[in-house]
Amino acid sequence: MSSEIATSIPERAARRRSGVTRRQARALAVQLLGPATMLSGLVWAVAQPYRIAFLYPEGKGAYDYLVQPPLLVVVVGLVFLVLIAPGLIADLERGERGPET
C-alpha cells in the first residue's frame, strides 16, 4: 500500500477526535438556538413590558392577550427546543450514515 494513502494510527485517532468535537459543537449550537431565542423574547419583555397585555390590561382585547410579541418569541424558541432540536441532535449523534431505514 502506498504510504501516501495509508495514514498512521495517531493521525486517524486525531481525525476521529476532531470529527467528534465538530459534531459536539454542532449539537451544542442546535441546542442553544431555542434557549437563545427564548432569552431574547424575555429580554424584549423586560425592555418593553407594555407590550405584554397581562401587565397592562387597560383597553386590551382578546387578540392582545393571544398575540403578545415578546411572548410569541419565547413560544417560537420553546417550539424549536421541544419539537425540532431533540430529533436533530439524536440524528447528528448517530452520525452521517445515510438515510434512516
Partner 1 sequence: MVPRPEIAHWLAASFALLLGLILLAEVIVGTTVFRRRPWRAYLWPSLALGAGVGLWVITIFSTFSTMHLLAHAVWAEAAMIAGAVQLAVVREKLSSPYWSLVTAGALLISGAAFLIHEQNPLLYSRSAFLHYALGWTCLVGALFPLGKALWPRRLVWSAGFALTWVMLAVLLFSDRDVAPIFGHFGEIAP
Helix (H) or strand (E) holding 15: helix 9-47
- 35, 39, 42, 88: which one contacts partner 1 (CB under 8 A)? 88
CB of 3 to partner 1, least distance (A): 31
All cell numbers assigned to 81: 427546543
Instruction: Count each helix (H run) and each strand (E run) in the chain, helices first.
Output: 4, 0
73 binds partner 1 (CB under 8 A): yes
* Minimum separation from the CB atom of position 1 to partner 1 (A): 29
The 13-42 site mask, x for binding partner 1 (CB under 8 A), equals -------------x--xx--xx--x-----
Q: Name the grid cell of 53.
A: 397585555
